[in-house]
């Protein structure tokens, strides 16, 4: 919650407390549910990435939705470590969903801190998003392991930290099978070191 799409597919902020409340109520009605298990509050202070700034009014709106029984758990998305810490002073945070993958590793410390707290970290664009991950090291590792580059990238995330929860997109049953097979790809310490150099 926190954004909506325009008629061209672009993201527009829908970030006021009233808009957040309306979005949750609309989702419940459209899905035929009484309660949503988890709702991620997406910061829209900057559409393109996390930006510092207070999320207090938005978190308060989510807490009110939780008190009404419309939301069971509150997550955060597109946020900074400080925003996570500030929100945790107000309410338990169930998960954090930020951009993170082999090449985009700004959240290294946040992943570890959340792991210590037992909080899932959900990387979006785990395969690079609109610009799929590409590097000579990744290709070489994939060839050596008889895997695809995308399987290796997902395997790296799975081995990165026990609190990483993957949500890779897919467009076909075959692609889904390939994604699932990434859980069977084992990366040695040497391979992990090689892949770490991509960032």
pLDDT at 78 over 80: yes
Is residue 3 assigned to a domain? Answer: yes
Is residue 147 assigned to a domain? Answer: no
**Per residue in 112-144, pLDDT tens?**
999 999 999 999 888 776 666 677 888 899 899
Is residue 20 assigned to a domain? Answer: yes
For position 46, which CATH number holds? 3.20.20.100
Is residue 9 assigned to a domain? Answer: yes
For the chain, list the strands marked E by DSSP: 3-5, 11-13, 36-42, 71-77, 96-99, 121-124
Mapped onto helix, strand or coil, the DSSP state of residue 32 is: coil
Name the phi and psi angles at 66, rounded to 5. -65, -40
pLDDT at 138: 86
- Domain of residue 42 covers 1-94
**Per residue in 14-23, pLDDT tens?**
788 999 999 9
Is residue 70 assigned to a domain? Answer: yes
Is residue 100 assigned to a domain? Answer: no
pLDDT at 93: 98
The answer to whether residues 91 and 121 touch, using CB atoms and an 8 Å cutoff, is no
How many structural domains are present in the chain?
1
> pTM of the prediction?
0.88
């Amino acid at each position: 919650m926190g954004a909506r799409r325009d008629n061209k597919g672009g993201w527009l902020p829908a970030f006021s407390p009233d808009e957040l409340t309306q979005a949750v109520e609309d989702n419940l009605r459209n899905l035929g549910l009484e309660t949503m298990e988890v709702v991620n509050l997406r910061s829209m202070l900057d559409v393109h990435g996390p930006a510092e700034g207070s999320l207090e009014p938005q978190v308060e709106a989510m807490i009110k939705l939780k008190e009404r029984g419309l939301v069971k758990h509150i997550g955060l998305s597109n946020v900074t470590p400080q925003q996570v810490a500030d929100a945790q002073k107000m309410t338990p945070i169930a998960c954090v969903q930020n951009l993170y993958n082999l090449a985009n590793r700004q959240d290294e410390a946040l992943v570890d801190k959340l792991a210590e707290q037992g909080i899932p970290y959900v990387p979006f664009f785990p395969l690079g998003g609109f610009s799929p991950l590409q590097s000579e090291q990744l290709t070489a590792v994939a060839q050596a392991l008889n895997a695809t580059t995308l399987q290796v990238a997902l395997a790296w995330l799975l081995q990165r930290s026990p609190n990483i929860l993957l949500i890779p997109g897919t467009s076909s049953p075959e692609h889904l099978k390939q994604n699932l097979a990434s859980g069977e790809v084992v990366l040695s310490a040497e391979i992990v070191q090689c892949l770490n150099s991509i960032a």
